Amino acid sequence: MKRYDSYKGSGVEWIGEIPSHWKLKKIKHHSDVNVGLVINPSTYYDDNGEIPIITGKNVSTNGIDISKVDRITSNSNELLYKTQIHTGDLVSMRVGYPGRSSVVKPEEDGYNCCSLIITRKSSTILPYLLNYIINSSLGKIQVELCQGGMGQQVVNLSDWNEFIIPTTSISEQKQIVSFLDTKTSLIDSLIEKTQRKIELIKEKRTSLINEVVTKGLNPNVEMKDSGVEWIGEIPIHWFINKVGNNTYVKGRIGWKGLRSEDFKDKGPYLITGTDFNKDGTINWDKMYHVDQWRYDEDPFIQLQDNDVLITKDGTIGKVVYVGNLKGQTCLNSGIFLTRPTNNEYISRFFFWSLNSNVFKVFVDYNSGGSTIQHLYQNVFVNFKFPIPPISEQQQIVEYLDEQTGLIDKTISIEEKRIELLKEYRQSLISEVITGKRKVV
């Protein structure tokens, strides 16, 4: 890594030393800063309005999305004289994700904005370098400092003006921006390729589960029509049954619902949808607890080992297998508890059936093509799934446990690769914008 010939202390702990010929300046010494008008949506927003408005939802670190913007009526036009953005301005979120910024491109010139910080194009700092600085760890530190550690998701204009920016000559800034554009583009390309690879692996995982729970492990077995359109053919010795005929299904009764004051630090465990891990296991580490009487009042939702749980509200169809209870445990609302009522299937096989496309298509079919927010019990009990002999179920379970474990390990490695690339990207930007790495 190349370094400059000499350095000096910046006087700012989280910046450290900078090249001797660099300076630190506050944003207010570089640019004029404004805040886009804060308007009341219920008063001014109008889907048929003449004036498009860019808000925080349109701003990302990759640019401004003008494909879907809010609109306001012309009656509020007199309020907008300071809120137009122009090519080369930096627009930044002040609420929600404070500091998230993007440079205005020519095609976005002239748009009005709402509740965004507008840092005008300056002759002393390039907008794209300022964008790198604000979106870097350097910017994030200053956002956190001005929030006073209180977790307030807002940056005031007075705070923004005080943000400290390392600066050098325009010619050197151009070289820095060119270097970062090239390097971050390569990193972003690697991240995108890795994300696509993960999606393909996930599709392979889903396809494998679906194939095995509907067709079995023997490719030469004689097949028959299942009688269910989205299942298709199944092995001739398998049969189809529905949840209502072979499964215990219970959820928390509405009038026994829990409120925040019922969540305790000790006592029996309380599982919520947020305790479902992606791999179908339960996250016990940060789980809520309830008083003993809350657990005792409803024996129908007291968990046992080998139960299968499925979310029925919000994100429908998240599934976990209860493999090793840590102690007395019950359910919050929004979850069905299931367990077999006869010897037709083993719970782990049912777990994999619920993770297959057979169940996903069933949910889609019963939603009528719309996104459903609740899976009703009288619908769920009509879910039909293929059932092989118990011995074959056990073979399928062992096979899927092994194969999906290998796939999940591969996914984890690729996700870690993405995290490392993101960390390297941030580290590279931080080194370059503070002069720790010489690129000229």
pLDDT (tens digit per residue) in 267-305: 999 999 899 998 899 999 989 999 999 999 999 999 999
- Residue 55's pLDDT band, with cuts at 50, 70 and 90, is confident
Structure confidence at residue 148 (pLDDT): 57
pLDDT (tens digit per residue) in 178-222: 999 999 999 999 999 999 999 999 999 999 999 999 999 999 999
Of 114, 149, 167, which residue sits at a domain end?
Answer: 167
Structure confidence at residue 370 (pLDDT): 55
**Beta strand residue intervals within 31-186, DSSP E:** 33-35, 51-54, 59-60, 63-64, 70-72, 90-93, 101-103, 112-113, 116-119, 164-167
Structure confidence at residue 151 (pLDDT): 52
Residues 34 and 138 placed together within one structural domain of the fold: yes
pLDDT at 324 over 60: yes
pLDDT (tens digit per residue) in 379-391: 999 999 999 999 9
Of 146, 167, 188, which residue sits at a domain end?
Answer: 167
Residue 186 CA to residue 172 CA, distance in Å, equals 22
- Does residue 195 form part of some domain? no
DSSP string, 388-437: --HHHHHHHHHHHHHHHHHHHHHHHHHHHHHHHHHHHHHHHHHHHHTTSS
- CA–CA distances in Å: residue 338 to residues 249, 281, 344, 409, 422: 5, 15, 14, 28, 40
**What is the domain range of residue 91?**
23-167
- CA–CA distances in Å: residue 303 to residues 235, 321, 430: 33, 11, 50
Summarize the confidence of residues 18-45 as an average pLDDT.
79
Residues 249 and 377 placed together within one structural domain of the fold: yes
Structure confidence at residue 77 (pLDDT): 54
Residues 6+ apart with CB under 8 A from 67: none
Structure confidence at residue 74 (pLDDT): 63
Residues 156 and 243 placed together within one structural domain of the fold: no
- Does residue 173 form part of some domain? no
Instruction: Please provide residue 233's backbone torsions phi and psi, each rounded to the nearest 5 degrees.
Output: -80, 150
pLDDT at 261 over 60: yes
Structure confidence at residue 53 (pLDDT): 82
Q: How long a stretch of residues is the chain? A: 440
- Does residue 248 form part of some domain? yes
- Does residue 334 form part of some domain? yes
pLDDT (tens digit per residue) in 131-179: 999 999 999 999 888 765 555 578 888 888 899 999 999 999 999 999 9
Residues 158 and 256 placed together within one structural domain of the fold: no
pLDDT (tens digit per residue) in 393-437: 999 999 999 999 999 999 999 999 999 999 999 999 999 999 999
- Does residue 205 form part of some domain? no
Comparing 340 with 98, the larger pLDDT belongs to 340
- Give the CATH number for residue 374: 3.90.220.20
Residues 373 and 270 placed together within one structural domain of the fold: yes
Residues 243 and 158 placed together within one structural domain of the fold: no
Residues 31 and 159 placed together within one structural domain of the fold: yes
Structure confidence at residue 417 (pLDDT): 98
Residues 244 and 109 placed together within one structural domain of the fold: no
Q: How remote is the C-alpha of 146 from its chain's centroid?
A: 26
pLDDT (tens digit per residue) in 107-135: 988 888 888 888 988 889 999 999 999 99
Three-state SS letters, 342-394: CCCCCHHHHHHHHCCHHHHHHHHHHHCCCCCCECCHHHHCCCEEEECCHHHHH
- Tell me the pTM: 0.83
Structure confidence at residue 368 (pLDDT): 58
Residues 151 and 254 placed together within one structural domain of the fold: no
- Does residue 394 form part of some domain? no
pLDDT (tens digit per residue) in 60-108: 888 898 888 888 776 655 556 557 888 999 999 888 888 899 999 999 8
- CA–CA distances in Å: residue 188 to residues 129, 183, 192, 405: 18, 9, 6, 28
pLDDT (tens digit per residue) in 12-28: 999 999 999 999 999 99
Of 145, 167, 189, which residue sits at a domain end?
Answer: 167
- Does residue 285 form part of some domain? yes
Within the chain, what is the greatest distance between any pair of CA atoms? Answer: 81
Residues 246 and 160 placed together within one structural domain of the fold: no
- Does residue 113 form part of some domain? yes
Number of domains in the chain: 2
Residues 6+ apart with CB under 8 A from 369: none
